Amino acid sequence: MHTGLFTKALIRYLFGVLIVGILIFLPAGTFAFWQGWLLMGILFVPMFIAGCVMIKRDPGLLERRLNAREEQGAQKLVVLSSALMFVLSFVAAGLNFRFRWLLLPPWVSWLSALLFLSGYGLYAEVLRENTWLSRTVEVSKNQKLIDTGLYGLVRHPMYLSTLLLFLSMPLVLASPVSFAIMLFYIPIICARILNEERVLKTQLTGYEDYMRKVKYRLLPFIW
């Protein structure tokens, strides 16, 4: 048992639960925001299960996922922009519920929850296929190029999964205002991808040939 890694992961996990809960329920002014509980459930229950699986089967992957400190200036800006986007989106969802600005019907929340879980499934498959995944733009020692499975369809399937996850979250919360805010994730992630590919092209052996083989970055037949 990797006790130190487990403790580190658990602290990060509980901190995430606390922060997201505050950002959703405090602006809502009540714990009766059922869409908030729905999102908390589909977000943090699978996350806990995935963490337990990783610490048992691939602790190195979990360690890389926890090391989220970016060194590049451009990527630090991407991380800060994403954090601000999430804060504004969650707060807007709580306020939207509290003041009844424009609430989507319940079926939208449930359908979006299924879409969110589909994104989680895609994310899990990406982690299974690529044990080198890090939350920072970097090339690890002895890292190998992955060009099969989902990586044979698009060059960045992890970002495709996050696109599904992040765009479905505000809909789970029944907030069109939050969805409009979360749309800023599209230019944010496109900028990150372009920067990441410049790094990988120069530091990861075979990546330039891989770019010619797999033409699409994020969405098949689109980009």
pLDDT tens digits, 83-133: 999 999 999 999 999 999 999 999 999 999 999 999 999 988 888 887 766
**Total domain count for the chain?**
1
How far is the C-alpha of 47 from the C-alpha of 41, rounded, in Å?
10
pLDDT of residue 43: 95
pLDDT of residue 56: 81
What are the φ/ψ torsions at residue 171 (nearest 5 degrees)?
-75, -35
Query: What's the domain range around 35?
Result: 3-213
Domain containing 119 — which CATH number? 1.20.120.1630
The per-residue b/e assignment along 56-69, b for 16 or more CB within 10 angstroms, e otherwise, is: eeeeebbbbbeeee
39-69 pLDDT tens trace: 999 999 999 988 888 788 777 767 766 665 5
Comparing 182 with 79, the larger pLDDT belongs to 182
DSSP 104: P
Sequence-separated (6 or more) residues with CB below 8 Å from residue 151: 129, 130, 157, 214
Asked if residue 222 belongs to a domain, the reply is no
Asked if residue 103 belongs to a domain, the reply is yes
Asked if residue 146 belongs to a domain, the reply is yes
State yes or no: pLDDT of 135 exceeds 80. no
Which residue is listed with tokens 């052996």? 205
Residue 69 contacts residue 134 (beta carbons within 8 Å) = no
pLDDT of residue 122: 92
How far is the C-alpha of 20 from the C-alpha of 33, rounded, in Å?
13
Asked if residue 218 belongs to a domain, the reply is no
Residue 172 contacts residue 38 (beta carbons within 8 Å) = yes
pTM given for the model: 0.87
Asked if residue 221 belongs to a domain, the reply is no
Asked if residue 126 belongs to a domain, the reply is yes
Which residue is listed with tokens 């944010």? 188
Asked if residue 219 belongs to a domain, the reply is no
Asked if residue 113 belongs to a domain, the reply is yes
pLDDT of residue 6: 79
